[in-house]
């Protein structure tokens, strides 16, 4: 241990040891450093002591701490010029040759007609216009798959990345490495709190407000709200915020007991008929328990489909007995056109691709870009009718 002095507190000695190891490149930018417990075991101190050492490192800009994920070296972010002068860069990718084509990688949870396909169309169109190529990898909402996809695309030599992050409370450590090393990438559909990474998404707050106000205009005030667990997923959190704001602006009480926030079968990793049946049963029980509900606001198209099945099994007619509004719907749904908030998916995809190219050229971009959604009135909503 360097600079060991009996007069120095242990947390300071641990801090100096880790600081020196980072400066000597034992830990490269983006590497995980030992946890509070690991440092405590190694040095025979309490977690309070080791925690203080890590806090000192964070305060000095040597590491970035992420609850539940660990602490990662931020040396390249704080001392970028020195790191570049030393030729140190943890992410190695092929530079574009004079006659080569740019490769932009896309990591997406999954895609379907209701959401994702048009997004990819927009990216692919932008790639053609810019004489580049799009390389796609799905994560199915699994953080391990997401990490593998990012690593694999970097090894392939992509010149930039577009990432649709997996839903979850914590973001992937591979994304943190991209931030630290200033690799050109854009997040799409959602942003990550506390991370200085550009994102492009729908104005979910404004869209949810517009949809809720539309239901109010039809006379509905007891509106059920159906959503997957927010799990710190900003798109869902913002739709909840917009729903609440619309109530507040109209002076209508938000009835939280009319919400279901546990719909899981719409998530990529839970997409199975068994889970759909479980969610349908929960919606049926909910509608039976709260017969005052005259409309449902679903945060996703697949959840709206579950609600339609639940209503049918209860003998309720949509929209005569129950109105249903959601986000997104397939362009050519030959069965039952839903009233929905239509996101500009192609615009989102095109702008994401173009912004990655701008980042490669050193342009500064807004951290957060929002695109408006459009209300499309279908056959699933109508004037309120008391059940």
Q: Phi and psi at residue 71, in whole multiples of 5°?
A: -115, 135
Q: What is the pLDDT of residue 5?
A: 42
Q: What is the pLDDT of residue 311?
A: 97
Residue among 298, 363, 352, 366 nearest 327 (CA): 298
CA distances from residue 275 to 157, 281, 306, 313, 329 in whole angstroms, order as listed: 39, 10, 11, 17, 21
Q: What is the pLDDT of residue 116?
A: 87
Is residue 361 over pLDDT 50?
A: yes
Q: What is the pLDDT of residue 345?
A: 94
Mean pLDDT of 240-249: 97
For the stretch 209-230, what's the b/e string if a residue is b when 16 or more beta carbons lie within 10 angstroms of its beta carbon? bbbbbbbbebebebbbbbbbeb
Is residue 58 over pLDDT 90?
A: no
Q: What is the mean pLDDT of the chain?
A: 86
Identify the structural domains of the chain with CATH numbers, from first to last. Answer: 10-85 (1.10.10.10), 102-202+346-371 (3.40.50.2300), 204-343 (3.40.50.2300)
Token pair belonging to 356 = 């990655």
Is residue 342 over pLDDT 60?
A: yes
pLDDT digits (tens, 9 = 90+) for 174-232: 888 888 888 999 999 887 776 778 999 999 999 999 999 999 999 999 999 999 987 65
CA distances from residue 374 to 17, 207, 227, 261 in whole angstroms, order as listed: 56, 8, 20, 25
- Residue pair 329/115 in contact by the 8 Å Cβ criterion: no
Query: 85: pLDDT confidence band, cut at 50, 70 and 90?
Result: very low
Q: What is the pLDDT of residue 212?
A: 98
pLDDT digits (tens, 9 = 90+) for 274-322: 999 999 999 999 999 999 999 999 999 999 999 999 999 999 999 999 9
Query: 101: pLDDT confidence band, cut at 50, 70 and 90?
Result: confident
Q: Which residues contact 99 (CB under 8 A, 6 or more apart)?
A: none
Residue among 37, 7, 1 nearest 19 (CA): 1
Is residue 45 over pLDDT 80?
A: yes
Q: What is the pLDDT of residue 233?
A: 74
Is residue 93 over pLDDT 60?
A: no
3-state secondary structure the chain: CCCCCCCCCHHHHHHHHHHHHHHCCCCCCCCEECCHHHHHHHHCCCHHHHHHHHHHHHHCCCEEEECCCEEEECHHHHCHHHHHHCCCCCCCCCCCCCCCCEEEEEEECCCECCCEHHHHHHHHHHHHHCCEEEEEEECCCCHHHHHHHHHHHHHHCCCEEEECCCCCCCCCHHHHHHHHCCCCEEEECCCCCCCCCCEEEECHHHHHHHHHHHHHHCCCCCEEEECCCCCCCHHHHHHHHHHHHHHHHHCCCCCHHHEECCCCCCCHHHCCHHHHHHHHHHHHHHHHHCCCCCEEEECCHHHHHHHHHHHHHCCCCCCCCCEEEEECCCCCCCCCCCEEEECCHHHHHHHHHHHHHHHHCCCCCCCEEEECCEEECCCCCCCCCCC
- Cα angle for residues 86, 176, 345 (degrees, 5° grid): 125
Rama region for 66: left / alpha / beta (φ>0; ψ in -120 to 50; rest): beta
Is residue 47 over pLDDT 90?
A: no
């Amino acid at each position: 241990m360097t600079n060991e002095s009996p007069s120095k507190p242990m947390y300071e000695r641990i801090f100096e040891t880790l600081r020196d190891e980072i400066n000597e490149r034992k830990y490269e930018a983006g590497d995980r450093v030992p946890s509070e417990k690991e440092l405590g075991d190694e040095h025979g101190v309490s977690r309070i002591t080791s925690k203080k050492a890590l806090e000192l490192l964070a305060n000095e800009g040597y590491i970035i701490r992420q609850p539940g994920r660990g602490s990662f070296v931020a040396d390249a972010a704080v001392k970028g010029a020195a790191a570049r002068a030393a030729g140190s860069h943890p992410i190695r990718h092929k530079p574009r040759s004079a006659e080569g084509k740019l490769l932009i990688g896309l990591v997406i949870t999954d895609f379907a007609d209701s959401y994702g396909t048009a997004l990819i169309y927009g990216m692919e169109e932008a790639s053609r216009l810019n004489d580049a190529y799009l390389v796609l990898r799905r994560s199915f909402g699994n953080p391990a798959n997401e990490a593998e996809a990012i690593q694999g695309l970097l090894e392939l030599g992509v010149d930039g990345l577009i990432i649709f992050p997996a839903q979850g409370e914590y973001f992937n450590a591979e994304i943190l490495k991209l931030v630290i090393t200033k690799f050109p990438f854009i997040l799409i559909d959602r942003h990550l709190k506390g991370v200085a990474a550009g994102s492009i998404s729908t104005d979910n707050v404004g869209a949810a407000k517009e949809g809720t106000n539309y239901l109010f205009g039809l006379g509905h005030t007891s509106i059920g709200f159906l959503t997957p667990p927010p799990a710190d997923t900003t798109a869902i959190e913002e739709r909840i915020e917009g729903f609440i704001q619309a109530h507040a602006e109209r002076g209508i009480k938000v009835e939280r007991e009319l919400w279901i926030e546990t719909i899981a079968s719409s998530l990529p990793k839970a997409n199975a008929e068994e889970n759909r049946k479980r969610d349908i049963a929960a919606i049926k029980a909910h509608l039976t328990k709260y017969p005052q509900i005259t409309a449902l606001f679903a945060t996703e198209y697949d959840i709206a489909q579950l609600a339609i099945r639940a209503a049918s099994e209860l003998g309720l007619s949509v929209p005569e007995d129950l109105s249903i509004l959601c986000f997104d719907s397939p362009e050519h749904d030959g069965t039952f056109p839903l009233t929905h908030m239509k996101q500009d998916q192609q615009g989102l995809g095109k702008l994401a691709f173009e912004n990655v190219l701008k980042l490669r050229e050193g342009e500064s971009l807004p951290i957060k870009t929002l695109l408006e959604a459009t209300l499309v009135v279908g056959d699933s909503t109508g004037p309120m009718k008391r059940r």
